[in-house]
Amino acid sequence: MFTERTSVGLDVHARSIVAAALDGQTSELHQARLTPSFEHVRSWLATLPGPVAVAYEAGPTGFGLYRDLTAAGIRCEVVAPSKLQRPVGDRVKTDVRDSIHLARLLRLGETTSVCIPTVAQEAARDLVRAREDCRGDLMRARHRLSKLLLRHGLVYDGGTAWTGAHDRWLRTVAASALTGAATRVAFDADYEHVLTMKARRDRLDVAIVAMAGDSEFTPIVRRMSCLRGVSTLTAFALTAEIGDWDRFTGNSIGSFVGLVPSEYSSGMSRVQGAITKTGNTHARRLLVEAAWHHRARYHVGAVMRERWEQAPAAARVRGDEGNRRLHQRWVNFLDRRKRPVIANVAIARELAGWCWSLAVMDC
């Protein structure tokens, strides 16, 4: 319920902020174009009839404005852009109209706020996203190098690519087979890029493992690592991306990461389509990759036992129960001749629920 006198909508950009304030008593509309300076925003808000509540859309400018206004005692809401209600026939979008629309929705209580991470959570999220970007860069660098060799008829057939043996083949057989000077320069540049990206990824992995072992995220990471396919890197990334696990349930976590089927139902018809793919893309990819590990026969190996030794007894029991359940689900899907990619998404959706149960477990 809106209790303040004035509702303020801010359309925040990197170099400017368009503000609109709606006085609930006089219905007067105040508008201004501000600089991105937090002090300038606070000074303009001080001229409005108080108390004041502020709303702006989540975006690339981050949560600095939210933290500054909250520290000053001003209620601030960071709104999810995808949840904003807009008239179907509205075809005009400007910064001024957006700010007024936000101010009206805030007064009506029709905004959906995002979960604001703490400074530590945001730092951890920056780290795992830097690693995710580096992983993508490494994959693209490897593709460029392999396709360069493919154009010259060089294909590695000695087993799995990007291993030690493959690296020796690149440095000896592939490099010596490229006779053109310009082609050799291109090969050296692509190969150097692959090594640079791999070294950068390894450095980020070391930093993530160190932070996962001694931070506020350590208990959750160790509990979630009791599941197959959820290594320290995966558990830490999920913890950083999800943030506050308590805002979800075992059913709603799948919807947040976009692993639930889309639906188009009306009247007596009910049609379900592909998964929604909404929400956090990084978390969804991690869960889908981890779900493949549950397809193989389940046994507790040395790596799993090493993870279990760092987790509480209740988490070990819960993790073992989840591993057996998810593998049996795989067996049932294969017996029904389900396509593996479709079955894996269903396993990933259930895996998200098991991760949630371990994350919120009170040990």
Kindly report, residue by residue over 130-148, the tens digit of the pLDDT.
999 999 999 999 999 999 9
Q: Provide the pLDDT confidence category of residue 85 given band limits of 50, 70 and 90.
A: confident
126 pLDDT more than 80: yes
For residue range 161-193, list pLDDT tens digits in order. 999 999 999 999 999 999 899 999 999 999 999
Dihedrals φ, ψ of 7, to 5°? -105, 135
Q: What is the pTM of this model?
A: 0.89
Q: Is 90 exceeded by the pLDDT of residue 336?
A: yes
Distance CA 318, CA 325 (A): 11
pLDDT in tens, 8-38: 999 999 999 999 999 988 989 999 999 999 9
Tens of pLDDT, residues 206-261: 999 999 999 999 999 999 999 999 999 999 999 999 988 999 998 899 999 999 99
pLDDT tens digits, 58-71: 999 999 999 999 99
Decide if pLDDT at 1 tops 80: no
